[in-house]
Chains A and B, each alone.
Chain A
Amino acid sequence: MTARALPWLLLLSSALTGCGDHSMSQQNRYGTFSKAALFKDGTEAQTLPQGVVAQGDLDRLQQITKPPAVDMALLARGRERYDIYCSPCHGLSGHGDGMIVQRGFPAPPSYHSARLRSADAQHFFDVITHGYGVMYSYAARVEPRDRWAITAYIRALQQSQHADVADVPELRSKLP
């Protein structure tokens, strides 16, 4: 009896499992901004609990507030990032005469002006982060550590293009 009923049971179970909507258009979840009795305020849109931050935010904040130590590796990194992101407008040597400027874009100020040579490093970091004038923010393109690397490289550019002969050993003998 059981052997004869088994095929029929299998057929019936297969037919029953085929019932229902399998398109996943109906899901057991709340819609965006819908009412939700599960929460006290009755809405699906919940703010993050106090103290919750996204992964990597604390490290990024520390990179912003604590400049890394300057060594040749950081300066090389800054030189690479500067040539990619900054030189089209500021020029490879920082005189504000990049190729974009040659084609008609407003010229940025030279890093070798008295004002920017006396500006503190935070100024350059903030300009990269927030933009300045017609320059837009590069926060989404340049990580905080790389912004400090570029800032340090700008100091190297200023040293390169405006060196005091008395501060550089044997410089006078190499000048024409």
Chain B
Amino acid sequence: MPNEEMGSRALPETAGIDNRAVLAIVGSFLLFVGAAIAGILLFLNSEAPGAFTPRLENRFPSPELQTSPEDDLTRFEAAQRARLTTYAWVDRDHNIARIPIDQAMQLVAGRGQHAYDALRPAPAPPPGASGGNP
């Protein structure tokens, strides 16, 4: 009897679930997923043909960073100093010109007590003006 009991226990347990049913369910799921993907691709291909191509025209412009602030400032100041060292016409019709700053400083220093005075006289008040707020 003990040998018979040992022999029967050595056999593997019988499957409780039918393997064919599992394979059918998994296969059906994969078929459904594949069909859904194919359907979406067909829909997008017909309705939005450009959905899968990158849109290069929507790229943002690159930020205007200063890669060399020292060089930028040097070039900028050189351009500005050129206005202070050269002769040039500003308004030829009205005989207005640009002169070097050193010459302008000598002109201002030569005015003496009137060095602080405005170069252009203040406009006269319109006739009838009261001359200030009430």
A152 and B101 contact, CB distance less than 8 A = no
Chain A: residues with Cβ within 8 Å of the partner, total of 42
Which residue in chain B gives the minimum CB-CB distance to A75? B105
Q: Is A165 an interface residue (CB 8 A)?
A: yes
Number of A-B contacts (CB under 8 A): 115
Contact of B108 among A92, A155, A165 (CB under 8 A): A155
A79 and B118 contact, CB distance less than 8 A = no
Closest 6 CB pairs of A and B: A70-B115, A160-B104, A121-B116, A159-B104, A117-B120, A92-B80
Given contacts A165-B95, A167-B107, A168-B103, list 13 more A-B pairs with CB under 8 A.
A92-B77, A92-B81, A97-B80, A118-B121, A118-B123, A120-B118, A159-B104, A159-B107, A160-B84, A162-B90, A165-B96, A168-B97, A176-B87
Question: Which residues of A approach B to under 8 Å, CB–CB?
Answer: 67, 69-72, 75-76, 79, 91-93, 95, 97, 99, 102, 114, 117-121, 151-153, 155-168, 171, 174-176
Question: Which residues of B approach A to under 8 Å, CB–CB?
Answer: 72-73, 76-77, 80-81, 83-84, 87-90, 95-101, 103-109, 111-113, 115-123
